[in-house]
Structure 1
């Protein structure tokens, strides 16, 4: 059994989308930020950073969104959400997953907190405007990151762009909004959204 430690108002929503897309059995352990459940000794023993998503499968702990995405899509290849190891698009697929974790999120955090930009040569991602432009350029080349075929990378990016545009951290440019709409129409995204809405309501009631 796959266990996802999850809060519907966190980055782990993207991992739930992927699990729904893979069509595998999984259990959700909801954790309340308000109740401090990600800071308990029990959870910190699983993930010392106290962060979500956190996945446990076959006794192995997998953390970090990108690692979870790679792990699940490769572990369940029948869903066809990751290019095979010898496929020409395997490299670009990994590139856009790594770009998400190594460039996009750090750039967004610095931008959101209005941190003074580093010199490009000393920054792991260059600068925020370039990161956004690189993304827009790629999204303008096809329906999805790798062209016409949706992959696990799109489920990660589509979910992330939803909350980052809602918070105003990422601009709602035409290429971004069109891409978000295509990913949002995927049945797994719709299912996961409904499940998370119900879970959020349940958790809110329990905290009252």
Structure 2
């Protein structure tokens, strides 16, 4: 059995979107929990087993998975026939995993540090900065319409996701903006918004 601990309009919304893209949302027990939000609202939910009180948390037959990129790998492996990931043995499996890891290891830290106005040589040396993120995306998207080639994948879903909640961070590069628009024009984007609106507390 699959159980997802989710709070609407948070990072776990991209897991809801992935489940919609996979066509398996109805196979998952989605449990709505509260989390502490940036505006000070919400708070830790005692019904949420995540050790840090965060979301998403996926539980499959009693085994807990946390962190979006790990959950995405797991789900796209579990439902590999849907074609949103890359199977073990596929020649571009490594590229797929690298895009997912790059998001968590580089993209999100860079966007958060930039938004917070933080600057330090250690950060620059470890993560680089927003120009380098934009350059990496641009280099790929000048070659292919999506990160993995001609078709939308879970890598696009994850890497494009912060630009929906931090649009001001979107690189001023046309091929990147076009890619985000392609990703967000998919039916799953609207369906995720509708799901979250329907499940907002209060």
TM-score normalised according to structure 1 size: 0.85
- Computed over aligned residues only, the root mean square deviation of the Cα atoms, in angstroms, reads 1.9
Cα distance, 1:132 vs structure 2: 2.1
Contact 1:117 1:127 (C-alpha < 8 Å) held by counterparts: no
Contact 2:34 2:45 (C-alpha < 8 Å) held by counterparts: no
In the other structure, the counterpart of 2:115 is 112
Write the distance in 2 (CA, Å) between the matches of 1:41 and 1:117. Answer: 37
1:7 matched to 2:10? The reply is no
Cα distance, 1:102 vs structure 2: 0.4
Give the secondary-structure state (helix, strand or coil) at the position aligned to 1:176: helix
Alignment partner of 1:96 out of 99, 112, 116: 99
Contact 2:56 2:66 (C-alpha < 8 Å) held by counterparts: yes
Q: Quick one: structure 1 residues 82 and 105, their matched pair in 2 at CA, closer, same or farther if it must change by over 3 Å?
A: same
Give the secondary-structure state (helix, strand or coil) at the position aligned to 1:85: coil
Write the distance in 1 (CA, Å) between the matches of 2:126 and 2:59. Answer: 30
Where structure 2 has 5 or more consecutive residues not aligned to the other structure, the ranges are 36-40
Contact 2:3 2:60 (C-alpha < 8 Å) held by counterparts: yes
1:185 matched to 2:188? The reply is no
Cα distance, 1:94 vs structure 2: 1.0
Number of matched pairs: 195
Write the distance in 2 (CA, Å) between the matches of 1:153 and 1:78. Answer: 16
Write the distance in 2 (CA, Å) between the matches of 1:128 and 1:156. Answer: 17
Alignment partner of 1:128 out of 130, 141, 145: 130
In the other structure, the counterpart of 2:66 is 63
Write the distance in 2 (CA, Å) between the matches of 1:60 and 1:186. Answer: 31
Write the distance in 2 (CA, Å) between the matches of 1:15 and 1:171. Answer: 24
Contact 2:14 2:158 (C-alpha < 8 Å) held by counterparts: yes
Alignment partner of 2:80 out of 47, 55, 77: 77
Cα distance, 1:66 vs structure 2: 0.5
Larger mean Cα displacement after TM superposition, 155-164 or 76-85: 155-164
Cα distance, 1:169 vs structure 2: 2.8
Write the distance in 1 (CA, Å) between the matches of 2:4 and 2:141. Answer: 30
Larger mean Cα displacement after TM superposition, 107-116 or 176-185: 176-185
Alignment partner of 2:147 out of 138, 145, 148: 145
1:155 matched to 2:157? The reply is yes
Write the distance in 2 (CA, Å) between the matches of 1:69 and 1:115. Answer: 29
Cα distance, 1:159 vs structure 2: 2.5
